[in-house]
Structure 1
Amino acid sequence: MSTVRAEQFDVVVVGSGIAGSSAAVAATRRGARVALLEKQDTFGGSTALSAGMFWTAPDLDAYRRRVPLGDEALGRAVVDDFAECLQELRDTGARVAGTPKTDIMTFGTGYSTDILAILAWCRDQVEAGGGVCRTGTSALRVLQDENGAVTGLLARTRQDRVRYETTALVLASGGFQGARDELTRALGPNADRLLLRSNPGSVGDGLRLARQAGAGGSTAMSSFYGHLIGAPANSFGPADFLPNSQYYSDHSVVVNLEGRRFTDETLGDEILNQDLLRQPQARGVLIFDDQVRSTVGTDEPFPGLSAVDRYQVAVDNGASHVRTDTLEDLVARVADWGIDPTVLSRTLRDYGAAASAGGGFAGGTPVSPRARAPRT
């Protein structure tokens, strides 16, 4: 029979990504003794797998256009507090780029950082303030009194169970991208076709704990962050996430398995992948020319990621692909994948005409003034 030991803290934070780590530092600065808990064997969650860009929308209007269902109060904070937070990151002593990168996700501005060093600095601050940072600790249940007030957290380690007694509990355990049932509820049946491009430990722990404690949901649960990945992918572990991401897709023509465009490609790869999820089988085809491949297709998307031929990375990893000298030959080859060549030919012809005219519509789908048709 396992025992339950008790420990007392002013604040308990579940999850050691940038959200949880920042919350732990904020509480420590206010004099709280903090327990920062991570269920995996290493700290950092999905943040530790990221490119480490610290960025924001340039203004609130840009935020509203890009995140129409977002919480405007939070959006205002993301915009208004950015300069102060950037200076705070610089003050940690970790590397923060001196020159900003623009057009992040086609609209944002931000700076490359050494995110692992920043996360380590956060843990140092917590421990210097008398707190603890622990891995291998899984949250089981929010503890509440008869009136529903939070009194602590029941957690499990490899050795025992621990009752963390506190009146301040922060749930920052990440999303639910690793939980197929939750993904299907939020995103629909094609969610089963998504690759997990994130921390595998993010299986909705925080959402589950919050629901148990009586909390509700929010808007925009059907949106997500991700990138287009060549399919099939023979290997797709954490080391494959960044080099296999087709960041340049906003410079391509994207069609579904019916050979039709379904969105404005210039919205950016982070939007295209969400729109593609709603298409048949959540699969599509990127069509681009050698100019795109040799420029934005091999550019360094974020400082520190290094330049890499992302098309070739996808090909080497098993992705279906064709390369031809003419669009006519490409259409014929892609027809072998079951895409109607007549429909695809019309799609490319109409897109090219709209792009040459400075934008408009093709087949009912917007074509941006920035669009450029593939050339041979």
Structure 2
Amino acid sequence: MNTSETFDLVVLGAGIAGLTTATAAAERGLRVALVEKTEAVGGSSAMSGGWFAFSGTPEQDAAGVDDSAELFLQDMLEVGEHRNDKTLLDAYLARQEQAAAWLRDHGAVFTQVEISSGQSAKRSHLSDIKDVLAKLHAAFEVAGGTSYLGHRATRLVVEGERVVGVQIEAADGILELHSRGGVVIATGGFSRGSEMLKVFAPDQLAAIPYGGKGNTGDGLRMAWRLGAGMADMSFVSGTYGSHPDTTDEFHELLTAYYLGAIIVNQSGERFTDEAQSYKTLGREVLKQQDGLGYQIFDATVRAKSERGVPLKDMDTLEDIGHLHRADTLAELADIIGVDADALAATVEAYNRVVGGETVDPQGRTSLCNGVGELKPIAQAPFFAYPAKSLMTTTYCGVTITPQGEVTNVDGEVIDGLYAVGEVTGGFHGAAYMTGTSLGKGAVFGNIVAETVATRLGESQ
């Protein structure tokens, strides 16, 4: 059965980027279609830790956090090795306050503010992400939006040089959705797309596959077919910190190294600066035997656990048997199968660095991105968490303008085509800061909704 429908805007993908775009557009009075490949909304966003990166927020003020847009920009550029598209960062910073307020207005509650990967101030705002996504979808439908769950977008429809719709397919046939305002690709990356990983990041096939089930690169391929430019494709990397037995059912990611742990390989030796972005650490760990690195820490770090808080919930990890405990380093080494003398020597050398006796050969001088004083690993009991790189998100994709318009390989706008979220490139650069993925979905989703609504209004 082949049929067609006409809308003001069609949005592909129902993670934070797609839901924000669709909901914000529908609430501006547009007739919006939201297309999702799987049977439920959420995508990779629903599998994330729920952190949004914002600065200058009431939550930061309440926690006494000293932060600014200028510091935020500096951090993003340094983490991205200055390979970011600064115009995108500027757009994010200019609209972050509005996006955060919009999320709060739609029921988001930021319960904690923490420091994490790539940050030199506490700006990761914790949300109950599944609740946020559910509330956004409910708001979308209240605003009159139409959801097409279980429908896969296969091809963009082009008239002349303008994108005017998309073909989607379901079990009962093909449906063509026409759009007066264009099409928004918010389909995520390709963490589940082995064929695309083979092309752009074959070394990452050794990482644990994760992310939304629908993240196989469909949207990226559709835009690519129209000549879309690409950015950051060479920086694809998994995130370090997941147990080898990690499953889709539980967001298992521990960053005890930002609290004071070290990372050792199966020879019991450190091999990198643990204060780096966990995407950079993901690349370094893949170079080690079996792609495995052990987070080693003592009772002082263990005491910093917060049950239920992603990235630092050591209580739950110990409950399920993934975190190992021992009264001595020698006993711990035996449990994880690492040479006891080598591990003892590594910890002793690290403690001398902490004490100021020597300079760290790995270059570590802080706990996380220049912040936090190093602490010795000395207080029993001792702990080990075996972890690998988790291919959660690819953080690269089509090139866009600050208004979310997709551009071609020559930098020219592809009329009627927009992109938001993980399917876009240029924002992160060489590495990723915690919270900026969900954050850019909310920020640029609002920007694109406003842009399309304004343009449709002007054309009438």
**In 2, are the aligned partners of 1:141 and 1:153 still within 8 Å (CA)?**
yes
TM-score by length of 2: 0.68
Residue matched to 1:105:
117
The 1-side partners of 2:330 and 2:94 are apart by: 50
Equivalent positions of 1:274-353 (< 5 A) are 274-293=283-302, 295-296=303-304, 298-300=305-307, 302=309, 309-313=315-319, 316=321, 323-328=325-330, 330-331=332-333, 336-337=337-338, 344-353=343-352
Residue matched to 2:155:
141
Deviation of 1:113 (Å): 3.0
Does the C-alpha gap of structure 1 residues 224 and 96 become closer, same or farther in structure 2, counting only changes over 3 Å? farther
Aligned mate of 2:270, from 243, 261, 265: 261
Deviation of 1:27 (Å): 2.7
The 2-side partners of 1:185 and 1:353 are apart by: 44
Does the C-alpha gap of structure 1 residues 185 and 370 become closer, same or farther in structure 2, counting only changes over 3 Å? farther
Residue matched to 1:75:
89
Residue matched to 2:4:
6
The 2-side partners of 1:158 and 1:29 are apart by: 30
TM-score by length of 1: 0.82
Residue matched to 1:175:
189
- Structure 2, unaligned runs of 5 or more: 56-66, 367-371, 381-460
Aligned mate of 1:374, from 374, 377, 381: 377
Does the C-alpha gap of structure 1 residues 213 and 313 become closer, same or farther in structure 2, counting only changes over 3 Å? farther
**In 2, are the aligned partners of 1:359 and 1:367 still within 8 Å (CA)?**
no
Residue matched to 1:354:
353
Moved more, 36-45 or 244-253: 244-253
**In 2, are the aligned partners of 1:28 and 1:125 still within 8 Å (CA)?**
no
**In 2, are the aligned partners of 1:276 and 1:283 still within 8 Å (CA)?**
yes
Aligned mate of 1:228, from 241, 245, 250: 241
Q: Does 1:25 align with 2:23?
A: yes
Residue matched to 1:86:
100
SS of 2:123's equivalent in the other structure is strand
Residue matched to 1:155:
168
Query: How many equivalent residue pairs?
Result: 354
The 2-side partners of 1:358 and 1:188 are apart by: 41
Deviation of 1:29 (Å): 4.1
Does the C-alpha gap of structure 1 residues 365 and 301 become closer, same or farther in structure 2, counting only changes over 3 Å? farther
Deviation of 1:238 (Å): 3.0
Residue matched to 1:239:
249
Code of the aligned partner of 1:28? A
Code of the aligned partner of 1:252? A
Does the C-alpha gap of structure 1 residues 351 and 333 become closer, same or farther in structure 2, counting only changes over 3 Å? same
The 2-side partners of 1:195 and 1:357 are apart by: 37
Does the C-alpha gap of structure 1 residues 289 and 123 become closer, same or farther in structure 2, counting only changes over 3 Å? closer
The 2-side partners of 1:106 and 1:310 are apart by: 25
**In 2, are the aligned partners of 1:247 and 1:301 still within 8 Å (CA)?**
no
Deviation of 1:5 (Å): 0.8
Does the C-alpha gap of structure 1 residues 230 and 348 become closer, same or farther in structure 2, counting only changes over 3 Å? same
**In 2, are the aligned partners of 1:148 and 1:213 still within 8 Å (CA)?**
no
- Structure 1, unaligned runs of 5 or more: none
Residue matched to 1:217:
230
The 2-side partners of 1:227 and 1:45 are apart by: 20
Question: RMSD of the TM alignment (CA)?
Answer: 3.0
**In 2, are the aligned partners of 1:38 and 1:136 still within 8 Å (CA)?**
yes
**In 1, are the aligned partners of 2:255 and 2:312 still within 8 Å (CA)?**
no
SS of 1:288's equivalent in the other structure is strand
**In 1, are the aligned partners of 2:307 and 2:315 still within 8 Å (CA)?**
no
The 2-side partners of 1:223 and 1:359 are apart by: 34
Does the C-alpha gap of structure 1 residues 367 and 308 become closer, same or farther in structure 2, counting only changes over 3 Å? closer
Does the C-alpha gap of structure 1 residues 348 and 144 become closer, same or farther in structure 2, counting only changes over 3 Å? same
Residue matched to 2:261:
252
- Deviations 1:328-372, CA, capped at 9 Å, x for gaps: 5545665x45x6x6655543332221111188323x443437222
Identify which of structures 1 and 2 has the higher relative contact order when contacts are C-alpha pairs closer than 8 Å and 6+ apart.
Answer: 2
**In 2, are the aligned partners of 1:262 and 1:365 still within 8 Å (CA)?**
no
**In 1, are the aligned partners of 2:256 and 2:312 still within 8 Å (CA)?**
no
- Deviations 1:7-27, CA, capped at 9 Å, x for gaps: 111211100111011111333
Does the C-alpha gap of structure 1 residues 124 and 342 become closer, same or farther in structure 2, counting only changes over 3 Å? closer
The 1-side partners of 2:11 and 2:279 are apart by: 29
Code of the aligned partner of 1:54? F
